[in-house]
Amino acid sequence: MDLNFALHLSTPELILGIGAIVILVFGAFRGDKGMTSVSALSGLCLLAAAFAAATSDYGVAYSGSFVIDRVGLFVKVAIYIAALFIIVLGQGYFDRLGNRRFEFPILILLATLGMSVMVSAGDLIALYIGLELQSLAMYVLAAFRRDDAKSSEAGLKYFVLGALASGLLLYGASLVYGFAGSMNFHDIAAATVKNPNTGLIFGLVFLISGMAFKVSAAPFHMWTPDVYEGAPTPVVAFAAGAPKFAAMVLLARVLQTGFGHETFQWQQVILVLSVLSFVIGGLGGLMQKDFKRLLAYSSIANMGYALLAIAAGGTGVSALLMFFVMYMVDTLGLFSGQMALKRNGQPITQIDQLAGLAKLNMPLTIAITMLALSVLGMPPFAGFWSKFFVFGAAIHAGLWGFAAAGLVASVIAAFYYLRILKLMWFDAPPADLDASPAEAKWITYLAAAFAFPGIIVFLWLAYPLAQAAAIGFGG
């Protein structure tokens, strides 16, 4: 493989990696007073990387370790754009706290670089490098407000439990390598045909367990509510979407490329995780009083839908891509909406504090209402179409019962989102609100506009791309 071609294929990653190093040196000289410049430069890096990904060629580089295909490029563009919005949110958030630190946008760049490597991983080494680069940056981001006890607790729990998941992942990788004799996904697939054995299946189960932690799928979800509650809100808005998107696509690549001939074996494990996520995410959300913890359990339930798309195989890949883009926009909008609400200088964190919002801020109430209806899957909003694609793929694969379980989970989730709507529209407000931060307010409006009517344009443009990307994925 020609090195120049390999470097050409990895242009987005080179932009992010070199950009992060250069911006880090710049920030070290300017200090925290240069955070605005650092954020602007980081945003330019992400835009350049998104353009490079959108115009990239396809191919395989670095002896099969790096795979550039339509699925990977689709995901990269979505992740880069999401990271750009998070940098904008973080800039205003830390300014208002008087906690400006130039490292924030650089850590976002490094986490995004890890995700970019993940979605293009062609072997177990690239898988682990990308996953750990993303995870290490996210651990620091979760504890970024080091003077805040909850943020420090969130970072510590995330790190300790993440280390456990990494151990499971490494043990599974070692078993797979030991029995297959190769790290490359295609070589592993050949080994499952020539020499199928129980050891490979055991290794695969450990790999799935480690990946399930990264996406907060039940029963590996224990870190999620505490991290969501304690970490800075822009970090949670990022962690809720982009890292899980990258990890889910990576899991789909491992299963369909490396273990495509063992579909019946891993499909059973994925379906069990999916149903557990439905149950725990749906029922756990009913008992929550904190808004961010509620969204944490909603996230667990939504990972069940993503896992169902993976279990469906075939058309499930395009459903997974569409589902996650819409899910990322909805969660970004809801977290931005929460950041836009303050009373007496303090952020609104409890669900009961949303009472009477319609009487105080009608535009924001309408936007949050649209996003809540979208997440619970109400037509014609984006969330309805995301679940429509997932259920359609599951039914096409003959997984009728699991699609029905997902539909029931959506009905359960409707209870806690409808409770929020009832509080906002019909209850009396306890007191006036502070003025909403501009960037949080407008990102909420943009996300709501995407949920409807922007979803019509997105479906028209993106669905054919998702379908084309899914063709040949894992082959």
Closest to 24 in 3D by CA, of 95, 103, 99, 91: 103
Strand ranges inside 275-348, DSSP E: 342-343, 346-347
Beta bridge partners of 290: 350
What's the CA gap between 66 and 58, in Å, rounded? 11
Beta bridge partners of 346: 343
Q: Is 114 exposed, middle or buried (0-12, 13-18, 19+ CB in 10 A)?
A: buried
What's the CA gap between 470 and 464, in Å, rounded? 10
DSSP 352: G
What's the CA gap between 354 and 42, in Å, rounded? 34
Closest to 84 in 3D by CA, of 46, 119, 118, 124: 46
| Tokens standing for residue 368 | 């949050």
Q: What is the mean pLDDT of each run of 10 residues along the chain (475 residues)?
A: 84 96 92 87 96 92 91 95 95 85 93 96 94 94 87 89 91 93 92 85 91 90 90 93 94 91 88 94 89 93 95 89 95 94 87 91 94 91 94 93 91 88 90 88 95 92 88 73
DSSP run (H or E) holding 68:
strand 66-68
**Measured between alpha carbons, how far is residue 392 from residues 71, 230, 305 in Å?**
20, 37, 12
For 433, the 3-state DSSP assignment is coil
Structural domain boundaries in the chain? 262-475
Half-sphere exposure of 289 toward its Cβ, with a 13 Å CA cutoff?
2
Backbone dihedral region for residue 471 (phi beyond 0: left; psi -120 to 50: alpha; all else: beta): beta
For 355, the 3-state DSSP assignment is coil
Q: What pLDDT is recorded for position 34?
A: 81
Q: Are 336 and 368 in contact (CB under 8 A)?
A: no
Q: Write down the pTM of the prediction.
A: 0.95
| Tokens standing for residue 173 | 């990788």
Q: Are 303 and 277 in contact (CB under 8 A)?
A: yes
